[in-house]
A and B are shown apart, each in its own frame.
Chain A
Amino acid sequence: MNGYEVIHEKSPAFYDRYERKGELQQQTHYCPGCGHGIVHKLIAEALTDLGLQDRTVLVSPVGCSVFAYYYFDVGNVQVAHGRAPAAATALKRSHPESIVIAYQGDGDLAAIGTAEIVHAANRGENICVFFVNNSVYGMTGGQMAPTSLIGEVTTTSPWGRRASNEGLPLHVCELLAALETPTYIERVALNDMKNIMKAKRAVKKALQIQKDGGGFSLVELLSPCPTIMKMDPVVARKWVGETLVKAFPLGVFRDRKPELPPDPKIPVKTVAEALEVEEGAPEIASPRRHHTRDLTVKIAGFGGQGILLMGQLLAEMALREHMEVSWLPSYGPEMRSGSAHCHVSLSHERIGSPVISQPEVLVAMNELSLHKFAASVVSGGLILYNHTELPVGFSAPQARIVCVPASEIADRLGSAKVANVVMLAALLEETECLPAESAISVLEATVKNPKLLELDRQAMKAGRDYVDTEIEVGAVSQPDGYSY
C-alpha cells in the first residue's frame, strides 16, 4: 500500500483477527448484506472516536448477534434471551465508570424482553441500547417477530401476519417515549448512505450521553435481513427504505435530560454499625448469673396487644443471662386475622424444636387464646389469664391458673399498651425463671421514649405487686372450686 494515504481503516475496537471463531477468522459470521455488520462498525468507530474502548462492556443477546464478542475488543458478557437490559443494569451499577451497551434484536427486546427494556428505560439506567429491528427472527430461521409487518410471511405466519391474530407491529421507540425518564430515543435506518450517516451520529450521540452520565438512550436501527427475506442484499436494503421505514417512521422521539426529583440521603455506616456490633466492646468474662431456669412459654392474644414483643422481651432477657433462647412467632395468614401468638424457649442447653406444642406456661391475653391453647399446657403447668376471673364453665384441671387483669391494670396506669409488660412482670414473679431487674435493663435498652419507659417501670411494678398481694400462694380461681 506504499504511496497511498490511509484515509479510513478498521476500527481498533475490533479485533485484528476474529480468533474466537474456529474458522474464517477475517470475516464475520453475518450474511452478506446483513445490517449487523454495519451496526457493529458504527459502534466500533464511535467507541474509538470517543476513546471509550477500554471502558466498554458489550452485552450481547440471543439472536444473530449472540457472537458479537467474536469481534469487539471490549469486555463482553453474553446473556439470556431478552435479559440484556437487566444484566446491563447490574453491570453498570457495579462499575459506574464503565460504558455498558446492550445490543438487542427485535425478538429479544420487543418480545421476550419487553419487561426488562421498559423497566431499564423507566429507571433511566445510564446505558445505551442498540436495537436492531429487521422485522423477523433471523437466527432461529425466520419466525414472526413483534415488529413483523402486517401481511409479512414468516415461518410462523405462513399466510402473512394477521392483525386479528397477532396484533399490529410493536413500536418500541413510541412506547418508550411515553416514559419520562429516558434521555434519548431515536429510530434510524440502514437503507442508504445518507441514513447510515444519520445512524452513525445517533450511535455516537447515545454513547456520548452515557459518557457524560446523561441517562438512558436507545437507538432503533431498521435493518435488512436478505437471507430470511430471500432477497438480494441490494433489494433487501431497498425494502427497508421503501417498506419498513413506512411502518416505522424515522426520527428523534426524545432528546432531553430528564428532570428528576432529588433523592433522600442514605446514612453511611461502617460494617460493624450495620451489623449492630460494638467493636472493641469487652466480652463479659464472667457473666453475671442470676438464678434462671429452663422454661417453655406460649404467649397468645390479639394483634396489637404486644404479644410478639412480650415474647421478644423475655427472649432478650434470657439472652442477657447467657441462656440459650428461641422465639418463634405465629406465622402466615393468622398474622392478618387479628390473632397472634409466639413460642419462647429458655434453656441452659442447646434448644431442639422451637415449636412448642406443649408449653409449660401459657399466657392467654384474651379469652379466645385461653380456650384455644389451655388444653395443650403440660400437666403441672401454669396458665396466666388476662382477666379478673375465668370464663363461666372453663376449666383446665391439669394446670394452675392465675388470673391477672393486666389490661385493667394497664388502663389504670394510663396506657393499655403496657398490659404486656404487666403480664411479663407477673410471669417473672410466678415462675422465677429470670430476675425482674433483667427485665428493667432490657426495657431501658429497648424503649427510647422516657415517658413510655417510666410507664413500663410502673407496669413492671404493678404486675409484680398484683401477684404478690392479690394472688394467694397456691390459690387458684377455678370455677369448680378445685384448688392446688
Chain B
Amino acid sequence: MRQLCKGNVAIVKGAVLAGCRAFYGYPITPASEIAEYAALLIPEVGGTFLQAESEVSAINMVYGASSAGMRVMSASSGPGLSLMQEGISYIAGSELPCVIVDVVRGGPGLGNIAPEQSDYFCIVKGGGHGCYRNIVLAPSSVQEMFDLTILAFDLADRYRNPVMIMTDGYVGQMMEPLDIKMRKIEQPEKDWAVKGNAETKKNVITSIFLESDVLEAHVNKLEAKYQLAQELETRCEEYLTEDAEVLLIGFGIVSRVLRSTVDQLRAQGVKAGLFRPITLWPFPSRELCKTAEHVKSVMVVELNTGMMVQDVKLTLNGTVPVEFYGRTGGNVPAAEEVTAQVFARMSALV
C-alpha cells in the first residue's frame, strides 16, 4: 500500500518495521524530525525513546542499548556527529551493531542547516580514532530511506558494526510515495549481548586490549570483517550507462539531479549516463571500474569541495579523466546548471 511520506518519517517507519525498539537522540536541525517522529512511534510500539543531555551521552546510550542486544538507533547532523565520533569508535571497537543517521548540514563549524554532503570524510573515512570502518548507505528517495534503514539494521547485526545512513535535508524533507510491505523481520540471536541474566553472564563488551599482540589480533579480526563487507556489500545503481561516453557520478540528492541532467544531455545528443553509489563504504569500486571501461570521461558532482571524487580517482586510477563539480553552503544545483557545466567542459570530457 502506497502512502505519501516524508523522508525523515520513512526512516523511523523502517526502523520500527526492522524491530528497532530503542532510540537515543539529541535535537539538531535538520535531523530533529527523526527524533521527534521516533519519540512518537517507538513508545507506541513498546520501545524506549530518550532525549539525552548531549550527543555524547546519546551515542553512549546507543552503546549501552546495543550491548544489551537491542536494535538501537540515533540520528544527528554535522556538529552532533562530530561529538558522536568517539562513541562510534568505541561501538566499532566493541563490535556492537547500531544504526546512526546523519542528515548532513552545511559546515564547517555551525555552518548552516541547508543540505551538503560535506560529512563524507568524517562518516565514510572514519572520523573517530583507530582502525575501523562504518558501513555507509546513501538513500536518494523516500522509499530508499525506508528500505535502506531496514538494510542498515540487518548489516549492522551481520557485521556487528555501526551502519550510517548519510542523507541530507532535501531527501529528509521530501515527500514521495512509500510502499510498505508488511513482513516479519527476523533478528539474529545475539548470544554475545549482556542482558542481565544467567545465560549472558559470561559475556564482556569491551574495546580495551592492552597487550600489543592481542590488540593486533582484534584489529585484524575487524579488518577481516571489512574485507568481507567490501566483497559482499557494495551496492550501486546505474542509469543509461550501457553506451555512455560521459559518466556522471553522484550520490543521494545529487544523483536525482544527475538523473535529470542525463536526460537533458541525451536530448541534446550527448551520450551521458549516471553511476550512483548506494554504499559509500564499501565503495562500489568493482562496479565502477566495469562501467567506466567504455566511457571517455567521468564527472563527479557533490555538495562539497571534492570528497567522494577521491574514491572515484582511486578506483579509476588514472584510466579515465575525472572532472569535478561541487556546490556548498546549501546550494543544490539544478539539472540545468550541471548540464551547462558538462557543456562548458566538453573539450575535457569528450
The stretch from A172-180, A211-219, A320-328 touching chain B is A320-328
Between B60, B63, B177, B195, the greatest number of chain A beta carbons within 10 A of the residue's beta carbon is seen for B60
- Given A98-B196, A316-B4, answer yes or no on A332-B330 (Cβ-Cβ < 8 Å): yes
Q: Is the CB of A268 within 8 A of B57?
A: no
Separation of A277 and B178 alpha carbons in the complex (Å): 11
B30-84 with Cβ < 8 A to chain A: 30, 41, 43-46, 48, 50, 52-54, 56-58, 60-65, 67-70, 72
The reply to whether the CB of A458 lies closer than 8 angstroms to some CB of chain B is no
The stretch from A53-61, A248-256, A363-371, A415-423 touching chain B is A53-61
The reply to whether the CB of A340 lies closer than 8 angstroms to some CB of chain B is no
Q: Is the CB of A281 within 8 A of B1?
A: yes
Closest residue to B337 on the A side, CB-wise? Answer: A357
B268 to chain A, nearest CB (A): 16
Task: Kindly list chain B residues whose C-beta atoms are within 8 Å of the C-beta of A315.
Answer: 4, 175
B225-262 with Cβ < 8 A to chain A: 253, 256-261
The reply to whether the CB of B151 lies closer than 8 angstroms to some CB of chain A is no
Q: Is the CB of A54 within 8 A of B201?
A: yes
Q: Is the CB of B67 within 8 A of A91?
A: yes
Task: Kindly list chain B residues whose C-beta atoms are within 8 Å of the C-beta of A278.
Answer: 1
The reply to whether the CB of B320 lies closer than 8 angstroms to some CB of chain A is no
A136-176 with Cβ < 8 A to chain B: none
Q: Is the CB of A275 within 8 A of B170?
A: no
Q: Is the CB of B182 within 8 A of A91?
A: no
Separation of A283 and B200 alpha carbons in the complex (Å): 45
Tell which of B13, B57, B257 touches A352, judged by Cβ atoms closer than 8 Å.
Answer: B257
Tell which of B2, B46, B176, B196 touches A91, judged by Cβ atoms closer than 8 Å.
Answer: B196
The stretch from B202-210, B278-286, B290-298 touching chain A is B202-210
Q: Is the CB of A324 within 8 A of B45?
A: no
- Given A312-B4, A353-B256, A353-B334, answer yes or no on A77-B196 (Cβ-Cβ < 8 Å): no
Q: Is the CB of B197 within 8 A of A54?
A: yes
Q: Is the CB of B204 within 8 A of A90?
A: no
Task: Kindly list chain B residues whose C-beta atoms are within 8 Å of the C-beta of A266.
Answer: 43-44
The reply to whether the CB of A428 lies closer than 8 angstroms to some CB of chain B is no
Contact with B along A68-89 (1 / 0, CB 8 A): 0100011111111001001111
Q: Is the CB of A357 within 8 A of B196?
A: no
The reply to whether the CB of A319 lies closer than 8 angstroms to some CB of chain B is yes
Q: Is the CB of B67 within 8 A of A77?
A: yes
Separation of A89 and B52 alpha carbons in the complex (Å): 10
Separation of A312 and B1 alpha carbons in the complex (Å): 18
Separation of A324 and B141 alpha carbons in the complex (Å): 12
Q: Is the CB of B170 within 8 A of A328?
A: yes
The reply to whether the CB of A293 lies closer than 8 angstroms to some CB of chain B is no
The A interface is mostly helix, strand or loop, or mixed, namely mixed
Tell which of B1, B41, B64 touches A90, judged by Cβ atoms closer than 8 Å.
Answer: B64
The reply to whether the CB of A100 lies closer than 8 angstroms to some CB of chain B is yes
Q: Is the CB of A90 within 8 A of B2?
A: no
- How many residues in A have their beta carbons less than 8 Å from beta carbons of B? 74
- Given A329-B173, A355-B170, A355-B334, answer yes or no on A54-B198 (Cβ-Cβ < 8 Å): yes
Q: Is the CB of B196 within 8 A of A97?
A: yes
The stretch from B16-24, B152-160, B304-312 touching chain A is B16-24
Separation of A54 and B203 alpha carbons in the complex (Å): 12
Q: Is the CB of B44 within 8 A of A75?
A: no
The reply to whether the CB of A290 lies closer than 8 angstroms to some CB of chain B is no
Q: Is the CB of A94 within 8 A of B65?
A: yes
The reply to whether the CB of A115 lies closer than 8 angstroms to some CB of chain B is yes
The reply to whether the CB of A274 lies closer than 8 angstroms to some CB of chain B is yes
B167 to chain A, nearest CB (A): 13
The reply to whether the CB of A17 lies closer than 8 angstroms to some CB of chain B is no
Q: Is the CB of A98 within 8 A of B195?
A: yes
The reply to whether the CB of A95 lies closer than 8 angstroms to some CB of chain B is yes
Q: Is the CB of B53 within 8 A of A115?
A: yes
B232 to chain A, nearest CB (A): 27
Q: Is the CB of A277 within 8 A of B180?
A: yes
- Given A283-B1, A332-B114, answer yes or no on A90-B24 (Cβ-Cβ < 8 Å): yes
The reply to whether the CB of A294 lies closer than 8 angstroms to some CB of chain B is no
Task: Kindly list chain B residues whose C-beta atoms are within 8 Å of the C-beta of A348.
Answer: none
The reply to whether the CB of B3 lies closer than 8 angstroms to some CB of chain A is yes
The reply to whether the CB of A358 lies closer than 8 angstroms to some CB of chain B is yes
Mark B residues whose CB is within 8 Å of A: 1-4, 13, 16-17, 22, 24, 30, 41, 43-46, 48, 50, 52-54, 56-58, 60-65, 67-70, 72, 86-87, 90, 94, 112-115, 169-170, 173-177, 180, 182, 194-198, 200-201, 203-208, 211, 253, 256-261, 263, 330, 332, 334-337
Q: A54-B201, A325-B4 known; 8 other A-B pairs, CB under 8 Å?
A: A57-B68, A57-B194, A57-B196, A78-B207, A90-B63, A94-B70, A266-B43, A274-B13
